[in-house]
Chains A and B, each alone.
Chain A
């Protein structure tokens, strides 16, 4: 069965303090790795899709990278509005999107 493990569970950052979130996965035939951002009580907001090892994508202060076993979400010079839970999900050959438990990020001014 596909598995996704995210670490750390929670991260507290000062504004401007860059950091990285980890997503380790095991999947049969990776079809895509997805990053979402979720605010409390809201639906997950799509950030990135990565399809193959070595791929990188960037959006504002966020950069996602992918290897054969894990993905990193780098947050550069975060601002308080980057506070959210970041979810990683993988989709394997049989199609089900398997989510990790998420990393809760709090950025303080």
Chain B
């Protein structure tokens, strides 16, 4: 069964810290992996998408890495800010064809404190 797991479920860090969020998946034959941000009561905002042939993607203070052989992805946030407080979701697409399905983890709820 293809599953996505995110640990920890919640994380609290002081402002300015660098932090890493973890995502693991059971089947290494992925098509791509996306990291999303979700603010309370809101929809999902796509942060980074990594194709299966890529090792990492960067956007501003965010860096996502992908290691298919170990079934892991990490989202690195540099110099965290209170505005980064949100739930971060990892989602994996297996197959890539028309009928492929995005499978989500349960998310990591991040709190950045002053």
Do A and B pair up? The answer is no
What is A's interface to B at a CB cutoff of 8 Å? none
